[in-house]
Amino acid sequence: MRIGVLGTGAMAEALAGSWARAGHELLAGGRSAAKAAELAERVGGRAGSLREAAGFGAVVLLAVPYAALADVLRQAGAGEGVLRGRAVVDCTNALDLATMEPDPDLLAGGPGAARRIAGLAEGARVVKGFNLAPADVWRRSPPGPGEARVAVPLCGDDEAALTAVRTLVRDAGGEPVDVGGLERAGLLEAAAVFAAGVWRQGRQPAEVFGPVASPGASPAAG
Ligand SMILES: NC(=O)c1ccc[n+]([C@@H]2O[C@H](COP(=O)([O-])OP(=O)(O)OC[C@H]3O[C@@H](n4cnc5c(N)ncnc54)[C@H](OP(=O)(O)O)[C@@H]3O)[C@@H](O)[C@H]2O)c1
């Protein structure tokens, strides 16, 4: 697949690197031409502007801070239809990346990142995903046969976009898990912020849920 990457930070590098290793064609786009060129050099791919990355392929990864979303989408030409028809993978979380504190929008019950993106990028096929596991997970070599894969919950409304993103989850070494339409993306975003709060208390987020008896069984909390 041809994949445009908006952002040149930790998530952009980790995911773009995994997809480049799986044979996908990447264009790294950043507001800094130098950082985009460095990222393209490190992962193997081309570099360009945010707008060039947005218009590059069938899939666009949006890997920027929540607070920068509107600005990045404007620079990418989303208001002029550059993202129309493309699968936009939204891994953003409504957190301040420096403090890991939730953005006030989230606490005030705002629409969440994915639905904001869908509103700002007309015609984009937004898929929420990759927002729970830390970037380092995607830097590792993909697990071999029989080895555990990180589950990647996905929310989206467009089946073609979901199909493409499921492939990219597997190519990155994860296992896609469909958890509903875009109206549920806010739940995934809240889960990430909740997990960050647990982590800040020195605990592992997985400890909070405990084991579920079998894949088909309901969690005790119902
Ligand atoms: N890191 C993780 O483990 C992780 C895991 C899951 C989800 N996430 C989410 O993924 C997103 C990206 O996280 P990250 O860790 O990759 O962040 P990061 O390393 O800080 O990178 C952020 C990127 O966004 C760019 N950016 C910031 N403001 C911009 C603006 N106004 N216009 C254009 N570009 C702008 C930065 O460009 P400059 O370098 O030019 O500033 C940088 O390329 C966040 O929403 C985060 O919550 C992160």
CA of 158 to the centre of ligand 1 (A): 25
Q: Could you identify the atom of ligand 1 that is nearest to the CA of residue 8?
A: 43
Cα separation of 81 and 153, whole Å?
27
How many angstroms does the Cα of residue 10 sit away from the middle of ligand 1?
A: 7
Confidence band for 79, pLDDT divided at 50, 70 and 90: very high
What pLDDT score does 29 carry? 98
Nearest-CA residue for atom 6 of ligand 1: 131
Ligand 1: which residues within 6 Å by Cβ?
Answer: 7-12, 30-32, 35, 63-66, 68, 71-72, 75, 91-93, 95, 97, 131, 134-135
Alpha helices in 96-158 (DSSP H): 104-107, 113-120
The tokens of 170 are what?
A: 């597997």
Q: Which ligand 1 atom is nearest residue 92's CA? A: 45
Ligand 1 center–CA 216 separation, angstroms: 36
- For residue 188, what pLDDT band results from cuts at 50, 70 and 90? very high
Lowest-confidence region among 15-19, 58-62, 194-198, 206-210? 206-210
Q: Find the mean pLDDT for residues 55-72.
A: 97
* Residues near 34 by beta carbon (within 8 Å), at least 6 away in sequence: none
Distances (CA, A) of 68 to 14, 64, 75, 86: 20, 7, 11, 20
Percent of the chain with pLDDT over 70: 96
Q: What is the chain's alpha carbon radius of gyration, rounded to the nearest angstrom?
A: 17
74 falls in which pLDDT band (50, 70, 90)?
A: very high
DSSP letter at 146 equals T
pLDDT, position 50 = 98
> What pLDDT digit, counting tens, does each position of 34-50 carry?
999 999 999 999 999 99
pLDDT of 175 strictly over 60: yes
Of the candidates 114, 142, 107, 149, the one whose C-alpha atom is nearest the C-alpha of residue 128 is 114
Q: Per-residue pLDDT tens for 189-218? A: 999 999 999 998 999 998 998 887 766 666
Choice from 6, 8, 11 to test ligand 1 binding pocket (greatest atom count within 8 A of CB) = 11
User: Is the Cβ–Cβ distance between 132 and 188 less than 8 Å?
Assistant: yes
Domains of the chain, by residue range, sit at 2-203
Among candidate residues 90, 92, 86, the one with its CA nearest the CA of residue 164: 86
Fold of 2-203: Rossmann fold (3.40.50)
Q: How many CB atoms lie within 10 A of CB 199?
A: 13
pLDDT confidence of residue 44: 96
Q: How confident is the model at residue 28 (pLDDT cuts 50, 70, 90)?
A: very high
pLDDT band at 100 (very low <50, low <70, confident <90, very high): confident
| Smallest CA separation from ligand 1 atom 9, residue | 92
Please indicate whether residue 213 or residue 188 has the higher confidence score (pLDDT): 188
pLDDT of residue 221: 60
pLDDT in tens, 122-155: 999 999 999 999 999 999 988 888 899 999 999 9
Mean pLDDT over the full length of the chain:
94
Residue whose Cα lies nearest atom 42 of ligand 1: it is: 9
- Report how far ligand 1's centroid is from the alpha carbon of 145 (Å): 32
pLDDT of residue 216: 66
| Percent of the chain scoring above 90 in pLDDT | 81
